[in-house]
Amino acid sequence: MPFVLSGGASDCGPCLDLSRQAEHIEPILNARKQAAMVTPKPALILIVCAQIFGVGLSKVQSSNVIGNWKVDVTFSNGESRSLRFEARESGKGSFLLLDPQSKFWGGAGPSEARWTQGDAGSVIFSGSVEFPLGNVGRDAGTLVLKGKFGTGGSIAGESIFFPLDQDPKDPKARPSKNGTFKAIRLTG
């Protein structure tokens, strides 16, 4: 039996009615257009957030110890000391006492020190120092500074001073002084 169109388009059913097909397709096309317009916005927001947070994370992770630091140490007995710590490549460094009393001894020279950087911004400086005692004596030992990077790139934490006869790595070692410290990067 041959296929015959009779009357209007409405007699052919919804499949052949072009106006009805357009009514069904138009909302789908509009939804796709809206989706196409909305999709880039969240993607753009995600990209911007990733860049902002990525830059922030890279600054935290790239906290570089290498350079010169002014270190102020305050022991629990009220004694305060100032040093310069020079951090070099491969964990090497030096302490230089900035104490005015050291001039009586012909000026303090730098002493060998080491540094290590751990997880979550933790840093340890350690090395031999000789603190002047009055005009005639010296308090020699190992200074250990355990801290973390803080605001503005400063480092703050705990200071521990061990006498010469104590090994700071020995768990039985007893420090002669404990306190706090703050280190600020020197520029120029």
DSSP character string of 64-127: ---EEEEEEEEETTS-EEEEEEEE-GGGEEEEEE--GGGGGGT-PPPEEEEEEE-GGGEEEEEE
How many helices and strands, by DSSP H and E, does the chain display?
2, 8
Mean pLDDT, the chain, as a whole number? Answer: 78
More confident residue, 160 or 54: 160
The answer for residues whose C-beta is within 8 angstroms of residue 123's C-beta and 6 or more apart is 65, 115, 116, 117, 145, 146, 147, 148, 149, 155, 157
This prediction's pTM: 0.65
pLDDT tens per residue across span 172-181: 999 999 999 9
Task: Establish how many alpha carbons lie within 13 A of residue 125's alpha carbon, considering only the half-sphere containing its beta carbon.
Answer: 38
- Assign domain 67-185 to its CATH superfamily: Quinohemoprotein amine dehydrogenase alpha subunit, domain 2 (2.40.128.120)
Question: Is residue 143 packed enough to be buried (19+ CB in 10 Å), middle (13-18) or exposed (0-12)?
Answer: buried
Instruction: Please compute the mean of the pLDDT values over residues 77-81 and round it to a whole number.
Output: 94
Tell how far CA 37 is from the center of its chain. 38
More confident residue, 48 or 28: 28
pLDDT tens per residue across span 30-58: 655 555 454 566 655 656 445 555 444 43
**CA–CA separation, 2 and 168 (whole Å):** 103
**CA–CA separation, 179 and 145 (whole Å):** 9
More confident residue, 97 or 56: 97
The percentage of the chain sitting over the pLDDT mark of 90, rounded to a whole number, equals 49
